[in-house]
Amino acid sequence: MKGIDDLDVSGRRVLLRADLNVPLDASGPGEPRITDDGRIRASLPTITKLTGRGARVIICAHLGRPKGDGYAERAAGGPSLLPVARRLGELLGRPVAFAGDAAGESAATVAAGIADGDVALLENVRFEPTETGKDDAERGAFAARLAALAALYVGDGFGAVHRKHASVYDLPGLLPHAAGDLVLAEVAVLRQLTTDPAAPFTVVLGGAKPSDKLGVIANLLGSVDRLLIGGGMSYTFLKAQGHEVGHSLLEADKIPQVSAMLEEAARLGVELVLPVDLVAATHYAPDASHDVVPVTAFPADREGVDIGPATRELFAQKLSDAKTVFWNGPLGVFEFPAFAAGTRAVAEAITQVGGLTVVGGGDSAAAVRSFGIPDDAFSHISTGGGASLEFLEGKTLPGLTALEENA
């Protein structure tokens, strides 16, 4: 894959596909508030490298999941990237021009008006329904409208590279292109995890649903030494082992697959560690009453919301001698402070590991930051949950393939 150093960007318009898909809190009055600007910060090195070389940087990005049939309906419903433009301007210490549409008249005017070293941000690219379209010709036609705004393309939106979308997949085919520094860094770390990771290689998986992660488990079983499973997805594993799980999250249709996976892990000599105790709450609420119970005695009328103290200790001990760690998915409902202890304990245990430590997943990254743990306590916090999981599943990522081709 070519990098920015391989492009002559000085004085030229560069369309930069970035991942600025930050979580928003729209519950207050007025403009939605950015609750974690990690993805904006992670995009800064590529932006400043380009502006430092005199490029005219036109950023294209998506935000949230706009709904509606046409552009107008989606734009009216939001979310707009305007608060992101403002935050980006603050972090860059310079104004960011904002186009009121994704690839229309305003985008053309803004693109024509910026000078060498300037930065502009286009409105939410997913306001354009064909950005994510299934029809190749329609998607290609939209990509051509974006291509008309610039002379060069830089792909740096790692969190979207697993998507076959116009701005990610079709656009690199229309302009001379390179990968941005963030994409190159993310890929380098994931390659380290998939090619000969230092042993013991310990993977911690949590989060809501096993269906999101079974592919990763299947692909990693051949290289991982220990697999620690907690969070919402662990109840399907516990159920597969015959335990009562009450009203906890459960994907009953995945039990056969999970049972097969438990057998496969045993056959390959992978140590698969499940919770030994759980926090059982009366219901899903921040102030629900709760008790710690062993997995062998889970009350049928309760819901599991966190790993228990014995499991926290067990997981920390299983991590203590690791040389490579990948962690994806909170170990409990960390959004409720009463049920965040398991996720916090695992995060802290990983910061003590001497070796390569990688955190993947938007909620996992948000959890780490909510605990006040600095990003540099880990080797790498991936900006792309879905993208990093699909990479580790061994899937081909369309956005990376497009950047590799005809660069």
- Nearer Cβ to Mg ion, position 304 or 362? 362
Q: Token pair of 310, please? A: 């014995």
- Which of 82-90, 107-115, 118-126, 331-339 is the region at the interface with ligand ADP (rule: CB under 6 A)? 331-339
Phi/psi of residue 160, each to 5°?
-115, 0
- Nearer Cβ to ligand ADP, position 140 or 329? 329
Partner interacting with residue 325 (select from ligand ADP, Mg ion, none; CB below 5-8 Å by kind): none
**Nearest distance from C-beta of residue 286 to ligand ADP, angstroms:** 11
Which residues, other chains included, contact 388 with Cβ-Cβ below 8 Å and sequence gap of 6+?
186, 190, 328, 358, 360, 361, 382
In the region spanning residues 166 to 225, those forming contacts with ligand ADP, defined by CB under 6 A, are 206-208, 212
**Nearest distance from C-beta of residue 381 to Mg ion, angstroms:** 14
Cα–Cα distance measured from residue 62 to residue 244, given in angstroms and rounded to the nearest whole number: 42
The owner of tokens 């036109």 is 58
Partner interacting with residue 330 (select from Mg ion, ligand ADP, none; CB below 5-8 Å by kind): ligand ADP
CA 204 to chain centre: 16
Name residue 16's amino acid.
L
- Nearer Cβ to Mg ion, position 37 or 363? 363
- Nearer Cβ to ligand ADP, position 121 or 331? 331
Could you say whether residue 38 binds ligand ADP (CB under 6 A)? no
**Nearest distance from C-beta of residue 111 to ligand ADP, angstroms:** 34
Q: Token pair of 250, please? A: 């459960």
Active site amino acids = 39, 209, 362, 386
Could you say whether residue 304 binds ligand ADP (CB under 6 A)? yes
- Nearer Cβ to ligand ADP, position 231 or 399? 231
Respond yes or no on whether the N-terminal peptide bond of residue 79 is cis (omega within 30° of 0): yes
- Which of 24-32, 217-225, 250-258, 362-370 is the region at the interface with Mg ion (rule: CB under 5 A)? 362-370
In the region spanning residues 346 to 365, those forming contacts with ligand ADP, defined by CB under 6 A, are 361-364
Strand runs (DSSP E) across 347-403, as ranges? Answer: 356-360, 380-381
Which residues, other chains included, contact 357 with Cβ-Cβ below 8 Å and sequence gap of 6+?
324, 325, 327, 350, 351, 378, 379, 380
**Nearest distance from C-beta of residue 332 to ligand ADP, angstroms:** 5
Cα–Cα distance measured from residue 18 to residue 28, given in angstroms and rounded to the nearest whole number: 27
- Nearer Cβ to ligand ADP, position 71 or 235? 235
Distances in whole angstroms, Cα of residue 34 to Cα of each of 24, 76, 86, 285: 5, 19, 11, 24
**Nearest distance from C-beta of residue 48 to Mg ion, angstroms:** 29
Which residues, other chains included, contact 330 with Cβ-Cβ below 8 Å and sequence gap of 6+?
206, 207, 231, 343, 363, 364, 367
Could you say whether residue 212 binds Mg ion (CB under 5 A)? no
- Which of 29-37, 173-181, 307-315, 354-362 is the region at the interface with Mg ion (rule: CB under 5 A)? 354-362
**Nearest distance from C-beta of residue 201 to Mg ion, angstroms:** 23
- Nearer Cβ to ligand ADP, position 342 or 399? 342
Could you say whether residue 363 binds Mg ion (CB under 5 A)? yes
Could you say whether residue 329 binds ligand ADP (CB under 6 A)? yes
CB 149 within 8 A of CB 12: no
Could you say whether residue 390 binds Mg ion (CB under 5 A)? no
Could you say whether residue 246 binds ligand ADP (CB under 6 A)? no
For residue 353, which of 316, 303, 305 has the smallest C-alpha distance?
316
Could you say whether residue 333 binds ligand ADP (CB under 6 A)? yes
**Nearest distance from C-beta of residue 362 to ligand ADP, angstroms:** 4
Could you say whether residue 231 binds ligand ADP (CB under 6 A)? yes
Cα–Cα distance measured from residue 122 to residue 147, given in angstroms and rounded to the nearest whole number: 13
Could you say whether residue 385 binds ligand ADP (CB under 6 A)? yes
Which residues, other chains included, contact 156 with Cβ-Cβ below 8 Å and sequence gap of 6+?
16, 17, 18, 19, 43, 46, 179, 180, 181, 182, 183
Residues forming contacts to Mg ion in the complex (CB under 5 A) are 362-363
Given the rule CB under 6 A, which residues bind ligand ADP? 206-208, 212, 231-232, 249, 304-305, 328-330, 332-333, 335, 361-364, 385
